[in-house]
């Protein structure tokens, strides 16, 4: 659950659909903030009829007012009246007098967030699901540029759409905001006919790199794009391009020409249900695409390395198996068989890594194959019934290899020593929680003697792997009905640095800009 969704759930009674709508809106929170050239705060209604801030945005296009976070705070008394009025009436409210904040005059604008029912597109809910306050700094002595005026006009259009439930567009496809164009990267404003009425300097620069010469304003962006497609050099486009450059669909596409890649994203603008134009954001993503291609190449190389390592390990295991069969003493045969099994369990991990682009391992699949391997190659005459319950989940490769090797040793001991020559079962249970991974291995064998724990090479290897490489703890004991129970606890260190899913700041972990 994202930080934003958690805050909403903690402070309000909004349902899943309402929370999802707000989360979708917040994906464009920085875009809205930059276009407004103002600080934004998103508020939700509390159970005691107050408002709590759940998201905050600081503009990159203007000086910020709020240097401290407002998240989780209740609305200030100076904003409460306008916020309550906007909520009750379901309309935008703009303060008639300057709103003073830290001795700085500001313009306060309140906008209700309305959610449209996907099945009833022309209807709107009776009450807003959230409220947005815009705090525009009025103290600046500089003159307002044409770009800033256009940004604010686009912002007014978008906030008008938010008020009636037209933004975010419920029918828009899901797009990744990573690497997507921002307002400062380049903005083109189109009228209803697709004619450019404004193009920022960065937008013009991006189009010039693709091969377009001249001014964009007054030109049809569709015709400009067509000239690039028909122009010199290699050009790569997709079928979404005509709709994007015409501003008719909320899509995103890439244009490649002259070894330059420009990403375009269209946001259609509506008023009173009619299309009034569009915003087209553009960004030179040449370096980003090159980096992505390099990552794909490196991922493919890593997969090939894992594949070759797996093949080499299987070759080593095969050589050990051949040598074990030709050994003349039982002790040598057992030692070589154990070494072969250890090598084979490591090969299983590399085989799994070779099948995907990420370095996360589905350890449930790995362990199922390891258990099958152990019971198949076991030198014991026992009729073993292995059983696995629970789930290990996804683990990084650096955890998967030592854990697979440690469990190989533990299960092997249970099969070959605890159940030597007898029928029985080996039960492995795995459970994950916020603290970490908890694994129990129990058998119905003869049970381990306390004085023998740690005496063998296998238990020494297991202790080294669990305590040294995994940073966990391990304990041996006897079960209530006999047999041996081995408990392993591994702290949850592998995902502590991971960002919360769906966050909205630079590192996608919180909801503050």
Q: Where are the domains of the chain?
A: 3-164, 183-284, 290-358, 359-504
> What pTM does this model have?
0.64
Q: Return the CATH fold of 3-164.
A: Beta-Lactamase (3.30.450)
From the centroid of its chain, how far is CA 70? 25
Same fold for the domain at 3-164 and the one at 359-504?
no
pLDDT at 258 > cutoff 80 = no
What was the pLDDT predicted at 500? 37
| CB contact at 8 A, 218 and 195 | yes
Residue 418: band (very low, low, confident or very high) from pLDDT cuts 50, 70, 90: low
What was the pLDDT predicted at 293? 74
Name the average pLDDT for the chain. 82
pLDDT at 114 > cutoff 90 = yes
Higher-pLDDT residue of 346 and 253 is 253
Note the pLDDT tens digit of each residue in 116-137.
764 444 444 568 999 999 999 8
What was the pLDDT predicted at 100? 86
| Parallel/antiparallel/unpaired status of strands 384-390 and 424-432 | parallel
| CB contact at 8 A, 131 and 167 | no
Average pLDDT of the residues in 93-115 = 89
Note the pLDDT tens digit of each residue in 37-92.
999 999 999 999 999 999 999 998 888 888 889 999 999 999 999 999 999 999 99
Show the tokens assigned to 328: 């003349």
Q: Which helix (H) or strand (E) holds 210?
A: helix 201-210
What was the pLDDT predicted at 2? 53
Note the pLDDT tens digit of each residue in 196-210.
999 999 999 999 988
Higher-pLDDT residue of 99 and 202 is 202
| CB contact at 8 A, 462 and 454 | no
Distances from the Cα of 304 to the Cα of 260, 300, 381, 400, angstroms: 30, 6, 39, 18
pLDDT at 252 > cutoff 50 = yes
d(CA 295, CA 302): 10
The residue to which tokens 């930080």 are assigned: 3
Q: Return the CATH fold of 183-284.
A: Beta-Lactamase (3.30.450)
What was the pLDDT predicted at 290? 74
Residue 357: band (very low, low, confident or very high) from pLDDT cuts 50, 70, 90: low
CATH class label, 359-504: alpha beta
Average pLDDT of the residues in 393-398 = 83
d(CA 467, CA 465): 6
Residue 17: band (very low, low, confident or very high) from pLDDT cuts 50, 70, 90: very high
Residue 95, Ramachandran bin (φ over 0: left; ψ between -120 and 50: alpha; else beta): beta
Note the pLDDT tens digit of each residue in 271-293.
988 999 999 999 998 887 777 77
Question: Mean pLDDT lowest for which of 52-61, 162-171, 294-303, 431-440?
Answer: 294-303
Residue 453: band (very low, low, confident or very high) from pLDDT cuts 50, 70, 90: low
Looking at the chain, the whole-number percentage of residues with pLDDT higher than 90 is 35
What was the pLDDT predicted at 386? 77
């Amino acid at each position: 659950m994202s930080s934003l969704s958690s805050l909403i759930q903690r402070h309000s009674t909004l349902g899943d659909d309402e929370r999802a709508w707000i989360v979708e809106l917040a994906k464009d929170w920085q875009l809205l903030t930059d276009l407004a050239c103002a600080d934004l705060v998103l508020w939700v209604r509390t159970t005691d009829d107050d408002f709590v801030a759940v998201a905050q945005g600081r503009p990159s296009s203007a000086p910020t007012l709020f240097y401290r976070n407002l998240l989780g705070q209740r609305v200030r008394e100076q904003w409460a009246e306008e916020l309550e009025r906007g909520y009750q009436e379901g309309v935008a409210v703009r303060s008639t007098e300057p709103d003073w904040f830290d001795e700085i005059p500001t313009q306060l604008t309140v906008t209700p967030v309305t959610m449209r029912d996907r099945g009833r597109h022309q209807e709107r809910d009776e009450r807003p699901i959230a409220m947005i306050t815009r705090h525009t700094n009025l103290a600046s002595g500089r003159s307002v540029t044409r770009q800033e005026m256009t940004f604010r006009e686009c912002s007014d259009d978008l906030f008008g759409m938010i008020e009636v439930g037209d933004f975010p567009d419920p029918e828009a496809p899901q797009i990744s905001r990573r690497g997507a164009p921002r307002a400062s990267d380049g903005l083109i404003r189109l009228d209803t006919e697709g004619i450019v009425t404004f193009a920022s300097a960065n937008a013009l620069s991006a189009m010039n790199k693709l091969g377009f010469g001249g001014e964009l304003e007054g030109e049809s962006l569709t015709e400009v794009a067509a000239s690039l497609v028909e122009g010199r050099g290699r050009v790569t486009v997709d079928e979404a391009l005509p709709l994007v450059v015409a501003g008719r669909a909320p899509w995103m596409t890439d244009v490649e020409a002259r070894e330059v890649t420009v990403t375009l994203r269209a946001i259609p603008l509506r008023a009173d249900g009619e299309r009034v134009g569009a915003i087209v954001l553009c960004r030179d993503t040449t370096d980003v695409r090159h980096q992505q291609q390099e990552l794909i190449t490196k991922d493919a190389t890593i997969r090939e390395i894992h594949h070759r390592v797996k093949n080499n390990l299987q070759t080593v295991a095969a050589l050990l198996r051949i040598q074990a069969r030709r050994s003349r003493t039982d002790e040598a045969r057992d030692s070589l068989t154990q070494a072969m099994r250890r090598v084979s369990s490591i090969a299983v991990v590399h085989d799994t890594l070779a099948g995907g682009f990420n370095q996360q391992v589905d350890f449930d699949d790995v362990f199922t194959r390891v258990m099958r391997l152990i019971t198949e190659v076991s030198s014991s005459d026992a009729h073993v019934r292995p059983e696995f319950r629970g789930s290990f989940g996804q683990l990084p490769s650096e955890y998967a290899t030592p854990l697979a090797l440690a469990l190989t040793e533990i299960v092997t001991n249970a099969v070959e020593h605890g159940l030597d020559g007898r029928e029985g079962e080996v039960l492995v249970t795995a459970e994950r929680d916020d603290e970490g991974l908890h694994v129990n291995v129990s058998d119905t064998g003869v049970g381990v003697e306390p004085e023998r724990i740690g005496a063998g090479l296998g238990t020494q290897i297991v202790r080294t792997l669990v305590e040294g490489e995994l940073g966990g703890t391990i304990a041996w004991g006897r079960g209530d009905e006999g047999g041996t129970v081995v408990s392993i606890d591994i702290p949850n260190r592998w995902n502590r640095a991971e960002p919360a899913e769906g966050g909205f700041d630079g590192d996608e972990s919180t909801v503050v800009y």
